[in-house]
Structure 1
Amino acid sequence: MTKEFNEIMHEINEAETIIIHRHVRPDPDAYGSQLGLKNYLKLKYPNKKIYAVGEAEPSLDFIGTFDEISDDVYDEALVIVCDTANSPRISDERFNKGRLLVKIDHHPAVDQYGDINYVNDQASSTSEIIFDFIVHFNDVSIIDETVARVLYLGIVGDTGRFLFNNTTPHTMNVASQLLKFPFNHNEVLNKMGEKNPKLLPFQGYVLQHFDLNDKGFCKVVITKEVLEQFDIAANQASLFVNAIADIQGLKIWVFAVDEGSEIRCRIRSKGIIINDIASDFGGGGHQNASGVSVRDWEHFEKLAEALNHKL
């Protein structure tokens, strides 16, 4: 940790412009780590130009907003990518236009695309790593509730409100330190859990149309026709990947949504390694939470068969 953290901070010290990216289809940890790092660095270096870029996810607008910058801003800039395992998933393809590229992540190290790479796959989230980065440089005293709030939401998001097995004693210690800052954590957690009322009929559909076998494997199939029936977008449907997580006997599940050009499959498990299967099909992720895209329903069935074979 010490070596890479020091190398990253050296480059931050040297840079006049810093541009922070994260992955497409952002989740709370992508937002939290990216905006947490940006706001921390703005407090530490008020004279530097620091930007956070990428497409927004409307359901997460309450966490924060992003900057729109022109291509020339990348000239001689330091670019930092948070929470992104491989380069094709980086939001905003201009990430490679800067002077130097840094990767900070907690996914298994498959694609080390940065000039400097810091990966800790034992961390619950990249937001947890950003807090460790702040602590390493004795900077907790300079951060404020804005930094604490987004990092806390990132950790909460990637740990499933501390229910997932990536929650460690260190994770809880970090969360307890962030809760010392004066933001209303009940309010922001309620905000994170809110869903548009028009989505609830779709949730009912999911709860009535899951396919669970006697081994504990379950699949949920959301076709274009289902999306049209409930008038929701693919990214809204994905919010319900864990809607069936409490089913008794459930061990592995895949939530597949037809996004038009591809079928996006979100894979989850309870204590069973599934990212090897995701990798075999061109995807990746954590041991118990991974994703992969397949080109048609025939290939989806092959993925489902491979996951079922795990059991």
Structure 2
Amino acid sequence: MNLEITKAIKTLLNVPQKIVIIPHKNPDGDAIGSTLGLWHYLKNKGQDATIIVPNDFPKFLKWMPGTEQIIIFEKDASTARQLINKATVIFTLDFNHLGRIGQLQPLLEDASATFVMIDHHQEPDDYAKITYSDVSMSSTCEMVYNVIEGLNDTECITSELAISLYTGIMTDTGSFKYSSTTSRTHTVVAKLIEKGAKNTEAHNKVYDTNTPSRLHLLGCALKNMVILEEFNTAFITLSQEELDAYEYKKGDTEGFVNYGLTLEGIVFAVIFIENKEEGIIKISFRSEGDFSVNEFARAHFNGGGHTNAAGGRSDVSLEDTTTLFKSLLPQYKADLNA
């Protein structure tokens, strides 16, 4: 984090502000953890801050301190609009394009507040006055820690703040196994544990709260897995009918895509999930090595993200989407077999 960004944020926070903090639609552990971490910090500094999320988030994240204060736009649009209209500063966390926030997009496009972006995804937009973008970071939570440290305010890190950032780092690094996990990441995590983050509690509450229906859904997903050995690729499909049969709840499919990469020789794993309410197929891409799923998602499925983890979408049927996907693989055969 460079000195210029630190100075700009410090200047902004030297006076009382009305602050709104916003993560991307369908927020994950890093999105919720980073917004909560920043919210705790700003409140500890005496700022008037509120978190607004575009839509609801998984139950396995709702144990974190402060989640009960989060405003969900789809449930309380009126309050959210008022807060955004009155905001003097808007922090956008864990996304870098306003198209990632669903129905909140037009409200932010019309907002008069000063925007601050903190994000680690590739190819950021230029909507923010202050942009802290670093694709080498493990998570947005690690970046929020860097902001607090850069402002010489680590003494403001409470146990509530620490567990929020720890949880986001843990989930976005695949429990510290992804290549984005650096020695610096472990240093930050160690400092968060020293500040009161209970690491075992975080693991248990995120990963060990399965319902029988979720495990049955996982079984269905694994049964549906297709392995394309010629392309070192595996993909999973889940139809709306299958989701309904296993009483799908938001967050239930989290991590399913990673099972493909546990197979020997597989370097590209994908899950296609039908969402009839939105009329789309939601897609998650994962890879190992140098194969860029970010570039693949951007080129073919209206998405993007990181080199080894990205998302996308399709507006055609589940069958047509997988047919298109399979038709694309031959042109990437050399890369997938490198």
Q: Same fold (TM over 0.5)?
A: yes
Task: Give runs of aligned pairs for residues 82-97 of structure 1, distance below 5 A.
Answer: 82-90=93-101, 92-93=104-105, 94-96=107-109, 97=111
The residue that corresponds to 2:74 in the other structure is none
2:314 aligns with 294
Q: Unaligned stretches of 5+ in structure 1?
A: none
The Cα shift of 1:70 comes to: 4.6
Matched, 1:128 2:142: yes
Q: Following superposition of structure 1 onto structure 2, how do residues 147-296 of structure 1 map, counting pairs within 5 Å?
A: 147-193=161-207, 194-214=209-229, 215-233=231-249, 235-260=251-276, 261-271=279-289, 272-281=291-300, 282-296=302-316
Superposed displacement of residue 233, structure 1 = 4.3
CA distance in 2, matches of 1:304, 1:235: 27
Call closer, same or farther: CA 1:185–1:134 in 2, change over 3 Å. same
TM-score, structure 2 as length reference: 0.86
Q: CA RMSD in A?
A: 1.9
Cα drift, residue 305 of structure 1: 3.4
Q: Indicate yes or no: 2:129 matched with 1:118.
A: no
- 1: distance between equivalents of 2:314 and 2:216? 27
- 129-138 or 228-237, which deviates more: 228-237
Task: Flag as ranges the 4+ runs of structure 1 deviating above 6 A.
Answer: none
| Counterpart amino acid of residue 133 in structure 2 | V
Same amino acid, percent of matched pairs: 28
Instruction: Sort the Cα spacing of 1:113 and 1:306 in 2 relative to 1 into closer, same or farther, 3 A.
Output: farther
| Maintained 8 Å contact 1:238/1:257 | no
Q: CA deviation at 1:197?
A: 2.0
Determine helix, strand or coil for the equivalent of 2:262.
coil
Tell me the residue number matched to 2:76. none
User: In the TM superposition, what is the alpha-carbon distance from 1:308 to its structure 2 partner?
Assistant: 5.8
State how far apart, in whole Å, the 2-side matches of 1:98 and 1:235 are.
Answer: 34
| Closer/same/farther in 2, CA of residues 121 and 89 from structure 1, 3 Å limit | same
Query: How far has the Cα of 1:161 moved from its partner?
Result: 0.3
SS in 2 for 1:249: coil
SS in 2 for 1:148: helix
CA 1:179/1:292 → structure 2, altered by over 3 Å: closer, same or farther? same
Partner AA of 2:193 in structure 1: L
AA partner of residue 210 (structure 1): M
Q: Does the 8 A contact of 2:24 with 2:101 survive in 1?
A: yes
Contact kept? 1:256, 1:263, Cα under 8 Å? yes
Instruction: Tell me the equivalent position of 1:7.
Output: 8
Partner of 1:20: 21
Give the stretch that moved more between structures: 190-199 or 229-238.
229-238
**Alpha-carbon distance between aligned partners in 2 of 1:284 and 1:80, rounded to the nearest angstrom:** 21
1:237 counterpart SS class: coil
Paired positions, count: 309
| Structure 2, gaps ≥5 residues long | 72-78
Deviation of 1:14 after TM superposition, in Å, equals 3.6
Indicate the SS of the match to 1:109: coil
CA contact (8 A) 1:265 1:291 kept: yes
Q: How far, CA to CA, are the matches of 1:149 and 1:2 in structure 2? A: 27
CA contact (8 A) 1:203 1:243 kept: no
Secondary structure of the structure 2 residue equivalent to 1:287: coil
Q: Structure 1-normalised TM-score?
A: 0.93
